[in-house]
Every structure is written in structure tokens, then in C-alpha cells.
Amino acid sequence: MRLRGQWREQAGDRPFRLRGRRTRLARAVRIALLEAGGAASAEEIYARIVRRGSFFFGDTGVAVEEVARVLEAVGRPIPR
């Protein structure tokens, strides 16, 4: 479904453009992990994300650090 030029994701109700930067990066990291078929370093994940074009890193100087932070968060259990 389209709303004035904004695409909705297949699995969600919120327009993709309105999702937060951290959420989009986490999604790109998860996809890159699936492509890798298992464990991978932050540098490898970053390279896959850039090659695929699934996320735009504004400042490439901290991009690998951002990926590493998301990888740490993905590995933690969700608090209940």
C-alpha cells in the first residue's frame, strides 16, 4: 500500500521512511548475517551492507563501530 509516495514494508504497518535509523541499520545487519550464513565480523557485515546498498552510512569513519554496536544488541536477550 502506498501513502503519498511512501512505501509500506510488507511485514509492518509503518512507512519505511518513518522508521528510525537504528531500526533500519539493525534490519540491514540481520540480513547481512543471514547472507553470511553464520558468524561474521563487523567489518564483513559492513562490507555486505555497502555492497548490497541496504543502508546508507553518512559518516563512514564510524560505520564499522555502528555495526558492532548493533551486533552486540542483536546478541543480547530481550528483557521481559
User: Taking Cα atoms as reference points, which of 37, 68, 35 lies closest to residue 52?
Assistant: 35
pTM of the model: 0.68
34-58 pLDDT, tens digit each: 999 878 899 999 999 999 999 998 8
Q: Which residue has the cell 540481520?
A: 30
Gap between the Cα atoms of 17 and 8, Å rounded: 9
Which H or E element spans position 64? helix 63-75
Please tell me the predicted confidence (pLDDT) of residue 28: 94
Confirm if 23 and 2 have CB atoms less than 8 A apart: no
Confirm if 67 and 44 have CB atoms less than 8 A apart: no
